[in-house]
Amino acid sequence: MSAIPPYPTGAAYMHGRFMPVAEAMLPVTEWGYRRSDVTYDVVSVWDGAFFRLDDHLRRFKASMDHFRLQPKESMEDLRGILHKLVQMTGLREAYVAMDCLRGSPPAGMPRHPRYAENHLLAYVVPYVWLMPREVIERGAHMIVASTPRIPEASVNPRAKNFHWADMTQALFEAQDKGADNPVLLDADGNVTEGPGFNVFAITNGVVATPDRGVLEGITRLAVIELCDKLSIPCEIRTVPVEELRNADEIFISSTAGGVMGMTRLDSRILGNDRPGPMTAQLHEAYWQFRREGWHAEPVDYSALAA
């Protein structure tokens, strides 16, 4: 028999302890906060099952290695912690975040990151949508941001990070222009990504998404696999902004919402101002496959009683 979940609005794990999410707090001296010296990942739970948890854990480990972050817990410990956190909320649709923070060097030590004790933090809250549901349904409005994406050589976008000053500026620009989302370009005018999502352009029945300057999104990976299943050609390569400007359809992908259509780019209205037919097909397929348990790792909600 299932126990009553103790933290239905959200649960967190920190320093070996489980707690309500509102109680998880950081000291102001933490370098994860003061220097954005932290990496993270986010996996979703839908219908009571994680989606592609192995892929998220693999990416999180690679991000930690990239930033030379090493928590006490093993990856298998982390898997158990994430399952337990979801069980503690009882949530069947959840947003599951894991962070590894630098910590802070002890007082009196040289201010070098190697003296800090890295630590893991994880929390679970109700599922978060990147945009309101009605915007996803009508199709979102996008602008090409005037702020370029931080150069790949400075901050590697494949290691998930909080160096979001460019994204934040671009979000304000989008809002100032009455749009929902920005897309950021690299210094050569090629499409990269946006705040929390990967970008796809569809031209003459072919899907294209940038191969560099982006986080290799797990939903992006799902889209690439779905294209293969649906016999839709999908190219992973440089996408010049002109290609995006002239595309028949544009969509984005994210853990926080799956496949989401764009209907406007700057002053241009795409198609009939509704998500295009191939976008709709991929959107439907994504949710249908998930409902059928594709790449799903079920949560055992009764385990909490044990």
Q: Which of 89, 104, 118, 198 binds ligand PLP (CB under 6 A)?
A: 198
Residue 262's DSSP bridge partners are 140, 250
The least CB distance from residue 55 to ligand PLP, in Å, is 8
The least CB distance from residue 111 to ligand PLP, in Å, is 29
> Residues 206, 235: contact at Cβ < 8 Å?
yes
User: Encoding tokens for residue 37?
Assistant: 């010296």
The C-alpha angle with vertex 65 and arms to 39 and 29, in degrees rounded to 5, equals: 45
The least CB distance from residue 6 to ligand PLP, in Å, is 28
Q: Which of 103, 196, 213, 275 binds ligand PLP (CB under 6 A)?
A: 196
The least CB distance from residue 164 to ligand PLP, in Å, is 8
Closer Cβ to ligand PLP, 136 or 304, answer by number: 136
**Is 197 near ligand PLP (CB under 6 A)?**
yes
The least CB distance from residue 149 to ligand PLP, in Å, is 9
**Is 217 near ligand PLP (CB under 6 A)?**
yes
Closer Cβ to ligand PLP, 23 or 228, answer by number: 228
**Is 254 near ligand PLP (CB under 6 A)?**
yes
The least CB distance from residue 197 to ligand PLP, in Å, is 5
**Is 220 near ligand PLP (CB under 6 A)?**
yes
The least CB distance from residue 12 to ligand PLP, in Å, is 19
Q: Strand pairing of 17-20 and 296-298?
A: unpaired
Q: Segment contacting ligand PLP (CB under 6 A): 63-71, 252-260, 271-279, 292-300?
A: 252-260
**Is 275 near ligand PLP (CB under 6 A)?**
no
Subset of 116-175 contacting ligand PLP (CB under 6 A): none
Q: What is the DSSP string of the chain?
A: -PPPPS-TT-EEEETTEEEEGGG----TT-HHHHS--EEEEEEEEETTEEESHHHHHHHHHHHHHHTT---SS-HHHHHHHHHHHHHHHT-SSEEEEEEEE---PPTTS-S-GGGS--EEEEEEEE---SS-HHHHHH-EEEEE-SSPPPPTTTS-TTS-B---HHHHHHHHHHHHTT-SEEE-B-TTSBB-EETTEEEEEEETTEEEE-SSSS---HHHHHHHHHHHHTT--EEES--BHHHHHT-SEEEEEETTTEEEEEEEETTEEPTTSS--HHHHHHHHHHHHHHHTTTTEEE--GGGGG-
**Is 193 near ligand PLP (CB under 6 A)?**
yes
**Is 257 near ligand PLP (CB under 6 A)?**
no
**Is 218 near ligand PLP (CB under 6 A)?**
yes
**Can you give the length of the chain in residues?**
306
Q: Segment contacting ligand PLP (CB under 6 A): 65-73, 218-226, 261-269, 284-292?
A: 218-226
Residue nearest to ligand PLP (CB): 217
**Is 263 near ligand PLP (CB under 6 A)?**
no
Interface residues with ligand PLP (CB under 6 A) are: 42, 193, 196-198, 215, 217-220, 253-255
